[in-house]
Amino acid sequence: MRKLKFVTTNPNKFLEAANFLAEIELERVDRAYTEVQADTLNEVVKHGLRELADQGFENFFIEDAGLFIHSLKGFPGVYSAYVNRTIGCNGILKLAGNNRKAEFRSVVGLYLDKKINLFEGVCEGEISGEKRGKSGFGYDPIFIPENETKTFAEMEIKEKNSYSHRARALVKIFSYLNPG
């Protein structure tokens, strides 16, 4: 069994990863890193990986995600954390308009044996008409994945993992570590 650190200040993200990567021994490192203002999640993740590697961390991964609303040309995207802190789910519900198609994107950055690898996951879906559910975090109460009626916040972790952007990125780490 391989041991990996997941560096995240978000306990919910760690629970999702630990539930999904049951075959890997995961340790949570509750440590913040600079989330640079950049145009893509990839750039944010690469910067964070290098910063933590420079501080001496080894064999770890980080993850950055965002909500991209199609009618808003991908907004809030890389600004998702700021927008969540300011206008929050209620603000997004008002902004979304009639075309509510959206997607969550996740980029997991792995720093293993001094090499960087990025893995991406996407979950298509739509913005709900109102906030529903109590589980999860962030935009979970207003996001319904494709072929579902429930929001992420109305799901248990296992069910969210069967659709989520994060799980779809994490499964690629698993294949990378266990090829063939």
Site residues, ligand IMP (CB under 6 A): 10, 64-67, 80-81, 84, 104, 136-140, 152, 164, 166
30 given a catalytic annotation: no
Closer to ligand IMP by Cβ: residue 2 or 50: 50
What single string gives the DSSP state of each residue in 118-129? EEEEEEEEEE-S
Q: How far is the CB of 85 from ligand IMP (least distance, A)?
A: 7
Q: How far is the CB of 86 from ligand IMP (least distance, A)?
A: 10
Burial of 93 (0-12, 13-18, 19+ CB in 10 A): middle
CA distances from 178 to 16, 45, 169 (A): 20, 23, 15
For residues 91 and 106, is the Cβ–Cβ distance under 8 A? no
DSSP state of 69: E
Closer to ligand IMP by Cβ: residue 67 or 113: 67
Closer to ligand IMP by Cβ: residue 67 or 110: 67
For residues 89 and 132, is the Cβ–Cβ distance under 8 A? no
Q: How far is the CB of 97 from ligand IMP (least distance, A)?
A: 20
Catalytic residue among 30, 54, 64, 113: 64
Instruction: Give me the active site residues, please.
Output: 64
